[in-house]
Structure 1
Amino acid sequence: MDVRHLKAFLATYETGSVTAAAQRIHVTQPTLSATLQQLEERLGRALFERLPRGVRPTEEGMRLYPQARRLVAEWEAMTAQFDPGGDCISLSVGIAPDAGPWAQEALQRLLAQVRPVPLLKLLAGDQGDLRLDMAHQRRADEGFVLLSREPVCVMLPVRHVLAGHAILSPSDLQGQEWIVCPDLPWHASLVEALGASAPYLPAHAASPSMMPSWVAAGHGLAAVPASLAALAPDAEVVLRPLAGWDVCWETGLCFRPGAMQLPGPAALISAAQQAAVRDWAWPEASPAPL
C-alpha cells in the first residue's frame, strides 16, 4: 500500500463516484478500480458499497477516511518542502457554496499572511483540510474561527417601487412576494419581524446564493447577506435594511479534530486566530448604510 492507493480512496470517498474520482486524479476508470481493489485486499475489508449509481463508503471506509486524509496531507507537505521552489507547506481549503464574496476576500487576505507560502488547493464544498463555511454549519466535533461578518438585508430589484426607501418597515412590505430559504437560521426571526406582512405562500430557494438572480428577474424580495448582491446580473438589485431587524451572517474556518497537527492548516488557523474579524463596510456610494 502506498500514497497512490490512499489518493484513489480519498477521491472516491469525496466524489461518491468511481468515474468522477478517476477524472479527479487523472487516471482511467479501470486503473482506479484496480487500485481500490488492491487497497481493499491489503486491508482485508470492503471500503465501499457498490450502488446502481456511484458508491457509498462502508463503516470501515468511514473509519479509514480521516486517517487517509491526514497521511496524504502529511505526504504532500513533506514532498513540497523538497520542491525546487523552496520551503512550502501543503494546504487544501473547501469553499462552501454560500460563502459569499466578503468572506472569500477575508480568506484571501488571511492566506497572504501565512508563512511559508502554502501550496494551496481550493476545493468545492465539504472537502480539504478545513473549509470556509457559515457559523451555523459548524459540526459538533469541529473547531471554528470567525473570519467575517456582514448584515443580512432585504434585496429587491433596482426598479422596485420600494427601492427609493433608505430603510424598509414591515408595513412597507405588506403584500410583497418573497423568496425564502426556510433552513436558514434567521428565517424564523424574519417572519416574526415582518409580523402581519409575512408572506403567506413564498417561493422557496435551497440556498441564499440562488436568490440574487431571481430577485433581479422580479420573482420576489429576499433576505440575503449583503455581499451576495454581487451575484446579481448587471447590478440589478439593491439592498435595504429592515427596521428593527438586526441579523448578521457569520463565516469562518471549520476544521476537524487533528487539523492543528498538520503544518498547513495549523498555520492558517493560527493566522486566523490572531487576525481581526472582517466586518462589513458599505461602499461609499451605497444609499442605505446600516
Structure 2
Amino acid sequence: MDLSLLRTFLAVHRAGSFTRAAHLLDISQPAITAQIRSLEKQVGRQLFQRLSRGVTPTTVADELAAKLAPHLDALEEITARDVLGTDPLHHTVHLAGPPEITGRRVLPALADLVRRGLRLRVTLGPSEELLSGLAAARHDIVVSDVRPRGRGVTATALADEDYVLVGAPHWAELLPRERIATRGPTVLEGAPLICDSEEQALVERYWAAVFDAKPTTSAGLVVPDLRAVLDCVRAGAGIAVLPRYLCAEALADGSVVLLLDPDVPPLTTLFLAVRVGELSRPHLARLHARLVAEAADW
C-alpha cells in the first residue's frame, strides 16, 4: 500500500477536515479527496463521514489511526533526524490556554524548547472555547481549567490551582481575619468585590467552598483579566479571589495580604488536553512531557 495514502489519512484524521489536512500537507483539497477515496476502496470500508463543516472519523478510521500513528510518526522522525539532519523539535505547535496561567507558568516552562527550535503559536481565551478549537484541530494542545470531555480528546491532570481571598493592607485592618473566620461573609459586605466577569465565578466558588454560602453583593469593578484584577487590588480598590500563583509576589512584598487562610482552600485542577493519538508525534510528546514535569513545581 502507498505510504502517501496512509500519511494523508492520518493528516485528515488529526485535522478533522480535508481543507486543513490539505494545508498541513501542502497539497490540493481535490488530491486529498482522491487519496482518501482510493484508500477507502482498498480497505473496503468508509473511513470518514462528511459533515457540513469538516469530517468525522468512523470507528474503522479510529482503529486504523491508532495502529498507524506510532509507526508513521517514527518514520517521520527518522527521516528528519537521520536523513535530512534536522531536529524533530523543528515543528510548529499551536498551543492554547487561559491568559494568566499561560503567560505566567506555561510559556516560561517552554522557553528552552523554543531556543532549541520549536516554533510556538499561542492562542489565549476561555477554556471551553479553546477545547472546541482543539477538537476542530485549530490547536494542537490546550491548557484547560475545566475537565475536557468528548470523543477524540484525552487529558492529563497538570496541576492544582488554589484560590485566595486578598486585599490591600488597609482592608486587612478594616476586616480582621478573626472576625471573618467567626462571622463569615457578612463581614465582607462593605468591601467592593473586584472580578474578572459579571458571573464572578471565582467569588462564587470561594464563597461556596469556604463559607457554604453565595455572595450577596455584585462586583464593584469588573475587568476581564485577572492580572488587571490584581493591579486593582494592589491599588486598594477592593478585595478579590485570585489564584495563589498569580499574587505570590504581591503577597511576598506585602502589597496585598490574605484576608482569610482556610485550612482547605478552594482548588481547581488544570488539565493538558490533546487529540487522541497526537502524543505519538515526537515534538508534541516532548512538549507535553516538559509541561507535566515543570508543573510538579507550580
Q: Which bracket does the TM-score occupy, shorter chain normalised?
A: 0.5 to 0.7
The change in CA–CA distance for 1:45 and 1:193 in structure 2 (over 3 A counts) is same
Provide, for residues 118-154 of structure 1, a one-character-per-residue CA deviation record: whole Å limited to 9, x for no partner.
Answer: 86777876479x9563586378x978475x6655356
Instruction: Give the aligned partner of residue 62 of structure 1.
Output: 62
Q: CA deviation at 1:15?
A: 3.4
Identify the residue that residue 209 of structure 2 maps to in structure 1: 192
Cα deviation, 1:257-283, whole Å, max 9, x if unaligned, reads 99998766776677678768333xxxx
Q: Greater helix share, 1 or 2?
A: 2
Displacement of 1:79 after TM fit? 0.8
TM-score (norm 1): 0.57
Residue number in structure 2 paired with 1:282: none
1:16 Cα deviation after fit: 2.7
Read off the aligned partner of 2:104 and give its amino acid letter: W
Q: Which amino acid aligns with 2:163?
A: V
Tell me: CA distance 1:258–1:177, structure 2 relative to 1, closer, same or farther (3 Å). closer
| d(CA) in 2 for partners of 1:145, 1:196 | 28
- TM-superposed CA distance for 1:30, in Å, is 0.9
Do the aligned partners of residues 87 and 177 (structure 1) sit closer, same or farther apart at CA in structure 2, a change above 3 Å counting? Answer: closer
Seq. identity, %: 23
Contact 1:11 1:24 in 2 (8 A): yes
Measure the CA separation in 2 of the matches of 1:214 and 1:131: 26
Q: Which one-letter code corresponds to 1:26 in the other structure?
A: D
2:147 corresponds to: 137
Instruction: Give the residue type in structure 2 aligned to 1:72.
Output: L
Task: Decide which moves more: 75-84 or 33-42.
Answer: 75-84
2:29 is the alignment partner of 1:36: no
Q: Which SS does the other structure have where 1:137 is aligned?
A: coil
Higher-Rg structure is 2
Structure 1 residues 211 and 153: alpha-carbon distance in aligned structure 2, compared to 1, 3 A threshold: farther
Local SS of the residue matching 2:110: helix
Q: Is the 8 A contact 1:118 1:264 kept in 2?
A: no
Q: Distance in 2 between matches of 1:3 and 1:244?
A: 60
Cα distance, 1:78 vs. partner?
0.9
Secondary structure, counterpart of 2:82 in structure 1:
coil
Structure 1 pair 215/106, CA: closer, same or farther in 2 (3 Å)?
closer
Going from structure 1 to structure 2, the CA distance change for 1:135 and 1:63 (only over 3 Å counts) comes to farther
- RMSD, matched Cα: 5.3
The question of whether the paired residues in 2 share the 8 Å contact of 1:48 and 1:55 is answered with yes
TM-score of the superposed pair, with normalisation by structure 2: 0.56
Answering whether residue 46 of structure 2 is matched by residue 46 of structure 1, we say yes
What is the aligned partner in structure 1 of residue 107 from structure 2?
Answer: 105
- Assess if the C-alpha contact under 8 Å between 2:22 and 2:28 holds in 1: yes
Q: Which amino acid is the alignment partner of residue 198 of structure 1?
A: P
What's the counterpart of residue 163 of structure 2? 152
> Aligned in 2, Cα 1:91/1:79: closer, same or farther, shift over 3 Å?
same
Q: Which amino acid aligns with 2:50?
A: R
Q: Deviations over 1:7-27 (max 9, x none)?
A: 433333333322233223322
CA distance in 2, matches of 1:239, 1:9: 54
C-alpha distance after superposition, 1:185-229 (max 9, x if no partner): x96454333555615889xxxxxxx6549969x9x9975546779
In the alignment, what sits opposite 1:8?
A: 8
Q: How many residues are treated as equivalent by the alignment?
A: 251
2:296 corresponds to which of 256, 277, 281: 277
CA distance in 2, matches of 1:266, 1:23: 22
